[in-house]
Amino acid sequence: MAIYNKMLVAIDLTEEAPHVLDKAMDLSKTYGAEVVLVHVVEPVGYAYGGDIPMDLTELQDQLDKAAREQLQAYGDKHGIKPENQLVLIGRPESEIHRLSEEVGADLIVVGSHGRKGFQLLLGSTANGVLHGAVCDVLAVRIQS
C-alpha cells in the first residue's frame, strides 16, 4: 500500500467541491499527509478564443479575487495552511501537473463526473490530469 505524504487537491469551486475536499481530507488524516489546495482559473480570453478587441483584465481580476475568497473559505474550514491555498491562472491540466511536481505531491485528488460518449471525446480535466501526472491520481466520483 502506498503512503502519501503530500496531496494536491484540485477543486473547481462548484457545488461538488465539498464532496471532493471531504474525501481528500479523510485520506490526508489516514496518511498524515500535508494538503495543498488549488483552484485553476482559466484565462478569460480562452473562453472567447482570444479574439475580443477589449481589455479583459478587470474581469480576470474579479474572477481571480472571487476564486481566492471561495478557496480560502474551504481551506480555512478544513485547517489547510494559508500558504497551501493556491489560485492559479492557466489551463487546469497543465497547471495541476506543474504544481504537483513543484510541491512534490505524491497524490493528486480531483473530481470526476464519469462522462460517457460524446462528452468523453471532448475530454475532461480529470482525464487530462490523469494522463500527464507523474504521481498517483485519485478521481473522486461526482454523481451527476
Strand order, beta sheet including 136-141: 85-89, 34-41, 6-10, 107-112, 136-141
pLDDT of residue 126: 81
- The answer to whether residues 85 and 37 touch, using CB atoms and an 8 Å cutoff, is yes
Q: Which three cell numbers stand for residue 66?
A: 472571487
Q: CA 92 to CA 81: how far, in whole Å?
A: 22
pLDDT of residue 54: 63
pLDDT of residue 2: 61
pLDDT of residue 76: 96
- The answer to whether residues 7 and 105 touch, using CB atoms and an 8 Å cutoff, is yes
Percent of the chain with pLDDT over 90: 58
Tell me the pairing of strands 107-112 and 34-41: unpaired
What's the chain's average pLDDT? Answer: 85
Which residues lie below 8 Å from residue 44, measured CB to CB, with a gap of 6+? 56, 59, 60, 63
Mean pLDDT of the 106-123 span: 65
| Fold of the 6-141 domain | Rossmann fold (3.40.50)
Q: What digits encode the pLDDT tens for the residues 25-79? A: 999 999 999 999 999 998 876 555 555 556 678 888 888 999 999 999 999 999 9
Band (pLDDT 50/70/90 cuts) for residue 122 is very low
> Does residue 114 carry a pLDDT above 70?
no
> Does residue 121 carry a pLDDT above 90?
no
Percent of the chain with pLDDT over 70: 83
